[in-house]
Amino acid sequence: MAMKASLQLRVGTQLTMTPQLQQAIALLQLSTLDLRQEIQQALEANPMLELDDGFGEQAAAETSEDDWASEIPSELSTDSDWTDTYPDHGMSGSGSGEGPDFERQADSVSLASHLIWQLAMTNLSERQRQIAESLIDAVDSAGYLAQSLDEIRDGLRQQGLEGLPTREVEQVLLRLQQFEPTGIFARDLRECLMLQLAVMPDDTPLLPQARRLVRQFLEALAADDRRLLKRRLGLDDESLEAVVGLIRSLDPRPGSAYAEVGGNYITPDLVARHDDRGWRIELNAEALPRLRIQPDYVALVRRADKSPDNQFLKDHLQEARWLMKSLASRNDTLLKVGREIMARQLDFLEQGEEAMRPLILADIAKTVDMHESTISRVTTQKFIHTPRGVFELKFFFSSHVGGGEGEGDAHSSTAIRARIRKLIQDEPPRKPLSDSRLVDLLADDGIRVARRTVAKYREALGIPSSSERKRFR
């Protein structure tokens, strides 16, 4: 893997980003598929590396025998806020053992779960977080707010935020409009396009004219009134065509991509198994090829002569060792985080989605002593095979919703959706449950949510209203 020159990154105190540390961070956030490609490229480029039919730990141990090589730390520190360097667009177990058929179809990552995941990384007060969750509930499949801010405010007041002004809801909305995908949480097409234009570099050609067109003359563009647009914007035919092309490059439905995700077959990174000792979280031994140092070349390097050929081998030996150490560090971090997540979601393994507990990135980050951004990278495009299916690690993060008097009574949004699905599946065919009745039944279970929230979750599950369900039966 080609490494860039050292960088200086300020994270509290100054931290030197060496090429080796950059490599460790880069590998940490790669998906298994991308990492396989990196490993294949390394095998083709480095004669000191070869595939190992045995266990990687033995090969890694062989690489520590030569005193002349640069010392490799026992643990590579891969924990920090790396946004500026790599921007984003009783548990036990081992890393070996036979497993089930791992080639499984991954569940789609919904837009709501993607937004909840980003919310978990956002520094908000508890009050602001409650407002943010209601705003996320109000986002439709295209990425737009399906309710007015006044309606959202009224729903929040019913949940206990008395005296909440619309202005405060709008302030939280402005924070959420910085989420990905760009253009999300818009109240109409004009705002959606303006949000996307706002993040473009200031030196983008004709950007001011494009912003003015969207802000003032979007209806004229829809009517293809080129004469008016040229006159009002002071543009010739060629420049107007460029402005229109820039606007058409934007996405008018930024949330749609998440509704269309799916159908990709993946190999999980982790495996959850149950045996007589309980649940075990292990690395999937089949996920990545094992590497080792080519022993014949190592023997040549030990001659310690200063010939160009020997220096060539020494350089590649050091690169090979750093790669193997970086891979080991990635696996250790992935396993540590995966075990902690599943330790908190044992009820899910035993009972399913209805038992999902609220969990945010900060919970895991604090326990494993890592930065939240590290946890976000470890859980993105990393999958675990469980008896209930294959899931992205991000799936297990879910916001706190409702509850009783204490924090321990809070429920995850995932669990509430699963409970709604179960109640509707078991409803009397001739008397479907209304959203209001679902609110009452959830309250009987200690889950306090507004009727609007129940309706939003029901719609997100693709379940028609009670009147429609009755008509279809």
Of the three residues 234, 257, 280, the one that is the final residue of a domain is 257
Could you give the C-alpha distances from 226 to 207, 326, 465, in angstroms and in order? 18, 57, 44
Domain count, the chain: 3
159 CB-side CA count, 13 A: 24
Q: Is 12 left (phi over 0), alpha (psi -120 to 50) or beta?
A: left
Considering the domain architecture, whether residues 141 and 76 belong to the same structural domain is answered as no
Q: Is 208 left (phi over 0), alpha (psi -120 to 50) or beta?
A: alpha
Considering the domain architecture, whether residues 294 and 377 belong to the same structural domain is answered as yes
In the block, residue with structure tokens 């045996």 = 275
Give 370's contacts (C-beta < 8 A, 6+ positions apart): 79, 333, 337, 364
pLDDT exceeds cutoff 50 at 56: no
With respect to residue 416, please indicate whether it lies within any of the assigned structural domains. yes
- Identify the three-state secondary structure at position 66: coil
First CA to last CA distance, the chain: 59
Residue 120's pLDDT band, with cuts at 50, 70 and 90, is confident
Q: What's the whole-number mean pLDDT along residues 409-434?
A: 81
Q: Where are the beta strands (DSSP E) in 315-403?
A: 383-386, 389-392, 400-401
Considering the domain architecture, whether residues 374 and 324 belong to the same structural domain is answered as yes
Considering the domain architecture, whether residues 243 and 378 belong to the same structural domain is answered as no
Residue 2's pLDDT band, with cuts at 50, 70 and 90, is very low
Considering the domain architecture, whether residues 130 and 234 belong to the same structural domain is answered as yes
Considering the domain architecture, whether residues 211 and 341 belong to the same structural domain is answered as no
Q: What's the whole-number mean pLDDT along residues 366-382?
A: 86
Query: Which residue segment(s) compose the domain that 274 sits in?
Result: 28-88+90-100+265-385
With respect to residue 135, please indicate whether it lies within any of the assigned structural domains. yes
With respect to residue 45, please indicate whether it lies within any of the assigned structural domains. yes
Q: Give the range with max mean pLDDT: 121-130, 228-237, 285-294.
A: 228-237
Residue 300, Cβ density class (10 Å: 0-12 exposed, 13-18 middle, ≥19 buried): middle
Cβ–Cβ < 8 Å for 280, 272: yes
Q: What's the whole-number mean pLDDT along residues 69-92?
A: 40
Query: What percent of the chain is modeled with pLDDT above 90?
Result: 14
Question: Six-digit token pair at 229?
Answer: 């647009």
Considering the domain architecture, whether residues 235 and 322 belong to the same structural domain is answered as no
Considering the domain architecture, whether residues 247 and 127 belong to the same structural domain is answered as yes
Model pLDDT, residue 57: 40
Considering the domain architecture, whether residues 406 and 368 belong to the same structural domain is answered as no
| Of 132 and 408, more confident | 132
Of the three residues 385, 413, 434, the one that is the final residue of a domain is 385
DSSP letter at 71 equals P
Question: Six-digit token pair at 359?
Answer: 């969990």
Q: What's the whole-number mean pLDDT along residues 179-192?
A: 90
Model pLDDT, residue 68: 39
Q: What is the pTM of this model?
A: 0.53
Considering the domain architecture, whether residues 356 and 271 belong to the same structural domain is answered as yes
Could you give the C-alpha distances from 397 to 113, 357, 415, in angstroms and in order? 8, 8, 11
Residue 94's pLDDT band, with cuts at 50, 70 and 90, is very low
Residue 170, Cβ density class (10 Å: 0-12 exposed, 13-18 middle, ≥19 buried): middle
With respect to residue 393, please indicate whether it lies within any of the assigned structural domains. no
| Pick from 41-45, 105-109, 359-363: least confident | 105-109
With respect to residue 286, please indicate whether it lies within any of the assigned structural domains. yes
Considering the domain architecture, whether residues 269 and 157 belong to the same structural domain is answered as no
What string of DSSP letters covers 117-176? HHHHTS---HHHHHHHHHHHHTB-TTSBB-S-HHHHHHHHHHTT-TT--HHHHHHHHHHH
Of the three residues 241, 257, 273, the one that is the final residue of a domain is 257
Model pLDDT, residue 294: 80
Q: What's the whole-number mean pLDDT along residues 434-448?
A: 85
Q: How far apart are CA 32 and CA 288, in angstroms?
A: 7
Of residues 391, 299, 435, 426, the one with CA closest to residue 106 = 391
Model pLDDT, residue 353: 80
- Identify the three-state secondary structure at position 183: coil
Considering the domain architecture, whether residues 115 and 253 belong to the same structural domain is answered as yes
Cβ–Cβ < 8 Å for 345, 50: no
| Of 223 and 56, more confident | 223
pLDDT exceeds cutoff 50 at 468: yes
In the block, residue with structure tokens 């590998």 = 27
Could you give the C-alpha distances from 98 to 38, 283, 284, 369, 379, in angstroms and in order? 25, 11, 9, 31, 24
With respect to residue 19, please indicate whether it lies within any of the assigned structural domains. no
pLDDT exceeds cutoff 90 at 186: yes
Q: How far apart are CA 179 and CA 33, in angstroms?
A: 26
Burial letters for 272-285: b for 16+ Cβ neighbours within 10 Å, e otherwise? bbeeeeebbbbbbb
